[in-house]
Amino acid sequence: MKFTAKQIAESLQGTVEGNADVWVNNVSKIEEGKPNTLSFLANPKYEEYIYNTKASIVLVNKTFVAQKKIDTTLIRVDDAYQSFAALLEIYNNVMQNKSGIEQPVYIAASSTQGQNIYLGAFAYLGENSVIGNNVKIYPHAYIGDNVTIGDNTTIHAGVKIYSQCVIGSNCTIHAGVVIGADGFGFAPQGEGYKKVPQIGNVIIEDHVEIGANTAIDRATLGSTIIRKGAKLDNLIQIAHNVEIGENTVIAGHSAIAGSSKIGKNVMIGGQAGVIGHLTVADGVKIAGQSGVGQSIDKENEIVQGSPAFSIGDYRKSYVMFRKLPEIEKRLSALEKK
């Protein structure tokens, strides 16, 4: 699909500087620009590349002042980075604009589907499942009995959504995600363990994105809940009865243990862990590889370490920790004297 500089500028409310009829059909990094691709310049440290890039069109801020002659066509916009992101979203939607039902698939007689859906080959729709309008379900996805999926949601290849779970509108569930598998519930019994039935479900609210191979366990009773606008990275474990607040973001390899409640607008770095039955207040930031072993009640607190504590105290402690070898040498020298 081809787009001219004029067409792109009109969609972004930008202005063309150069050949308005030059066209592009792909995107590229500015330092790797190729003919008929579009790139952008937002970070000043990449400015050197704009003077010799082969990209046919480059988005730049309206405030950009060239220091040398530029051969490529420029489109000046208020924010080059945001404009480029908007174009990528449009491009992605065009590339993934699939519709229709491929074969073979299994659709239970009691399942209902909205308008303009896409159902990839070998997908499975269970009994009483409800699929909204404009939903895309890619090949080998499993949608269990009594599952509801809201409008405009995309379920990528190989996703497994167990029975009774609810997925909101405008969500994106990436490949390999498992939603609604049993929580880790076992009661000690003699020399072994007896499994505690997990009869709850998972509720994913609107505008949530879940990265590849993340697992979200169903509740023992009630619901495990991911609130609207939350963003989960790849390879995350969310245990039974956890609640993740609105617009909270969690980086990869993190794990939230059972029944913990994470507030809204929380940021959790990669490989962080939160033990069970805790609460984390709104706006808290948890540094990567931290281990949270007690509730964080103060809003907007920043913590680090394992066990995690205030980042200011952590940094002071870390300075002392790094000095321990030197202190040990001095102590040894004093003992010898």
Domains of the chain, each with CATH number or no CATH:
3-95 (3.40.1390.10), 100-312 (2.160.10.10)
**In this predicted model, what pLDDT tens digit does every residue of 294-317 receive, in sequence order?**
999 999 999 999 878 787 877 777
- As given in the structure block, the two tokens for residue 282 are 């709104």
Contact by Cβ (8 Å): 25, 3: yes
| H/E stretch holding 131 | strand 130-131
pLDDT band (50, 70, 90) for residue 91: confident
Chain centre distance of CA 144: 24
Strands 73-77 and 15-17: antiparallel
Contact by Cβ (8 Å): 265, 248: yes
pLDDT at 120 (0 to 100): 97
- Predicted model pTM: 0.83
Please determine, for residue 228, whether its predicted confidence score (pLDDT) is greater than 90.
Answer: yes
- As given in the structure block, the two tokens for residue 290 are 């931290």
Q: What is the DSSP letter of 108?
A: -
Contact by Cβ (8 Å): 167, 173: yes
**In this predicted model, what pLDDT tens digit does every residue of 240-257 receive, in sequence order?**
999 999 999 999 999 999
> Which of 120, 126, 125 has the alpha carbon at shortest distance from 100?
120
pLDDT band (50, 70, 90) for residue 112: very high
Neighbours of 5 (CB within 10 A): 24
Place of tokens 């709850």: 200
Contact by Cβ (8 Å): 177, 154: no
Q: What is the DSSP letter of 50?
A: G
pLDDT at 190 (0 to 100): 85
Report, as residue numbers or ranges, the catalytic residues.
240
Please determine, for residue 328, whether its predicted confidence score (pLDDT) is greater than 90.
Answer: no
Please determine, for residue 325, whether its predicted confidence score (pLDDT) is greater than 90.
Answer: no
**In this predicted model, what pLDDT tens digit does every residue of 9-65 receive, in sequence order?**
999 999 999 999 999 999 999 999 999 999 999 999 999 999 999 999 999 999 999
Place of tokens 């805790």: 278
**In this predicted model, what pLDDT tens digit does every residue of 135-179 receive, in sequence order?**
999 999 999 999 999 999 999 999 999 999 999 999 999 999 999
Chain centre distance of CA 162: 21
- As given in the structure block, the two tokens for residue 164 are 């009774």
Across the chain, mean pLDDT equals: 94
Chain centre distance of CA 317: 33
Contact by Cβ (8 Å): 61, 46: no
Contact by Cβ (8 Å): 258, 183: yes
64 CB contacts (<8 Å, ≥6 apart)?
41, 74, 76, 80
